[in-house]
Amino acid sequence: MVKRNTEFPKVKGLYKKRTAAGVRYVLRGTKKDGGKMVDLFVTVPLEPDDSDRVFYEKVQKAREELDAKINPVKDIAYYIDQYACKRTLSQGSVWQYNHALKGFNLNADNDERMVAEILARTDLKDTSKKRMIGIVNTFYKYLVQIGVVKRNPAAGIRIGRWQRRTRIPTDAEVERILTYTDTNGNEADALFLRLIRDTGARCSSVEILRICDMSDDWHLSLYNVKTRKPYSVSILITDPVVKQLWKSVAGNRDPMAHIFGEGIEAKRVTRRLGCRMQRLFEPDADGQRISIHSFRHRFGCQLIEKGTPITTIASLMDHQSASVTYQYYARPAQSNVDDAMRLLGSFNQDSDDPSDR
């Protein structure tokens, strides 16, 4: 039971509370949390022989502590947690945000200095700097949208040009990893790798596949985990090995079950196949490796070489616009470049023929 204090001067929110241990004084405040009003209390260590000066000093200190509870200091870590909840970021992504934004605050003027320090670091590659600046840029866009800050200290910064960290595997290399997986892995691993090869999908999209995503006419429905939206088109499966593996893996399981397990079980397939590729294939002279994502690049580049319309490729690869497809996948094959140079050489030789004069 809480009763008003009668021994000390009356102060708004100060109450005397009788407990089994005796009498203690508390300062009460209210805070709105989730649409409800919640009471907050701070104990004031008052003694019966305290003077008025000591009394008001203790009450003032308790009031500051109560204000801190009602209006907690919202630092950069607080907004990272809010952003992670809104975008449903994984634990690894939250760690990357905390690591990249370490030392930043909510003052764009001071944070410009932090951005300049990232750009001036010599122990980081351009790709690492680009990743860190991208995190800062994305996060501060969110802060600008919710009205916490007015400027983005990393806006407009571009670091170098896009470089492919993984190289496109050759047909022989693709056949080697498929054969190795068929003989040394299991049916789920073989199905996962062949789906990546034949659909050009992201690993995350294949990881969450359900058995019901494959229709009777062998059209595969994929789902973009990042945008949380399905692909704009369904992809036709023509490889008979994939159809056979799908039937073998799916079996009589629940139609709503995940084909590669759920959560960490599905991610283990990606991690296992990635480790196998590192063991089988050494990096080239430029340090570029073959990864699972290399199959996606191979898928897009092969469609470009076959003359597939760029809009069709963008739909198959679930790009936001055809310009993304053109920027990253419209690279001419070396054979096409050689044919063009031979054509030009034959044209020059015909022009130099004396009989034409």
The residue written with tokens 């692909």 in the block is 231
Angle at 197 between CA 196 and CA 202, to 5 degrees: 30
Q: Where are the domains of the chain?
A: 2-70, 76-145, 171-329
Contact (Cβ atoms closer than 8 angstroms) between residue 236 and residue 218: yes
Q: Which residues contact 48 (CB under 8 A, 6 or more apart)?
A: 7
Task: Give the right CATH number for 171-329 from 3.40.50.150, 1.10.443.10, 3.20.20.70, 3.40.630.30.
Answer: 1.10.443.10
pLDDT at position 4, please? Answer: 45
Contact (Cβ atoms closer than 8 angstroms) between residue 127 and residue 165: yes
Q: Where are the beta strands (DSSP E) in the chain?
A: 2-4, 14-19, 22-33, 36-44, 219-220, 223-224, 229-230, 235-236
Phi, psi of 32 (to 5 degrees): -85, 120
Measured CA to CA, the distance from residue 144 to residue 278 in angstroms comes to 41
As a residue count, the chain comes to 357
Going by their DSSP bridges, the two strands 36-44 and 14-19 should be labelled as unpaired
Measured CA to CA, the distance from residue 42 to residue 20 in angstroms comes to 18
pLDDT at position 177, please? Answer: 92
Question: Which pLDDT tens digits describe the chain residue by residue (357 residues)?
Answer: 444 444 677 788 888 888 877 788 888 888 877 677 888 888 888 888 888 888 888 888 888 888 777 777 678 888 888 888 888 888 888 888 998 898 888 888 888 888 988 888 888 888 788 889 889 988 998 888 888 888 888 887 877 654 556 788 888 999 999 999 888 888 889 999 999 999 999 998 999 998 888 888 899 999 988 788 889 899 999 999 999 999 998 887 888 888 888 878 888 898 899 888 888 888 777 677 888 888 998 998 888 888 888 889 989 998 888 888 887 777 666 777 888 888 888 777 766 555 555
pLDDT at position 222, please? Answer: 92
Q: Output the CA torsion sign for 296, 302, 305, 306.
A: negative
Q: What is each CA distance from 33 to 16, 39, 79, 86, in whole angstroms?
A: 25, 10, 17, 18
